[in-house]
A and B are shown apart, each in its own frame.
Chain A
């Protein structure tokens, strides 16, 4: 079965640079979620999109922005990177919320290292 695809899988950036993370949800899933997991921590919700509109916003820094495109893929844009942004970034997708069962399917994550 098709899974959530994230690219790149690994990314190394320097402080103050920008990064773009991409997420391709499972086909027919219309909701995308982004989570950040720091070393030794639990995942923290950043932002979500439903039908290309932002649906919820969590602890996402102002330096980050995200959007969902017409083909339902999503991109997380990160600017002015800081050392503390080093983390594993997960994308998850789910069924349409009106018929969903709450399950989110996670991608393999993008490991971002800021040096």
Chain B
């Protein structure tokens, strides 16, 4: 079974600064997807960024980028120029290419300090 581990239960960042959230995963599959989801206080699950395992290039979406290290099974999220609206719970998630169910990590609660 696949597992996803987020070792940072809580993190904080100053507004306009950069923060990196860590995620590691374990799988025996060669083809899979990795995601970061944001869950603000509204509890809505919002997709932040996606990475296909077969792509070597790290995904980027505006201020959000990932550092995908396939051999190390590491998938960290970097948030640049942090904004107050970035404050939320961030979940790292995995899905296999054959079975698309998502397996989530325990989450990292990010606080943004004005």
A34: nearest chain-B partner, CB-CB: B101
Stretch from A12-20, A41-49, A71-79 at the B interface: A41-49
Is A70 located at the chain interface by the 8 A CB criterion? no
Is A58 located at the chain interface by the 8 A CB criterion? yes
Contact B105 A48 (CB under 8 A): no
**Residues of chain A with a CB closer than 8 A to B44's CB:** 106, 108-109
**Residues of chain A with a CB closer than 8 A to B102's CB:** 33, 35, 43, 45, 92, 104
Contact A103 B47 (CB under 8 A): yes
Give the number of residues in B that approach A within 8 Å (Cβ atoms): 23
Complex alpha-carbon distance, A45 and B96, angstroms: 13
Contact B50 A43 (CB under 8 A): no
Complex alpha-carbon distance, A64 and B105, angstroms: 24
Which B60-114 residues sit within 8 Å CB-CB of chain A? Answer: 91, 95, 97, 99-107
Give the number of residues in A that approach B within 8 Å (Cβ atoms): 28
CB within 8 A of A102: which of B33, B42, B46?
B33
Contact A42 B100 (CB under 8 A): no
**Residues of chain B with a CB closer than 8 A to A24's CB:** none
**Residues of chain B with a CB closer than 8 A to A65's CB:** none
Complex alpha-carbon distance, A33 and B107, angstroms: 20
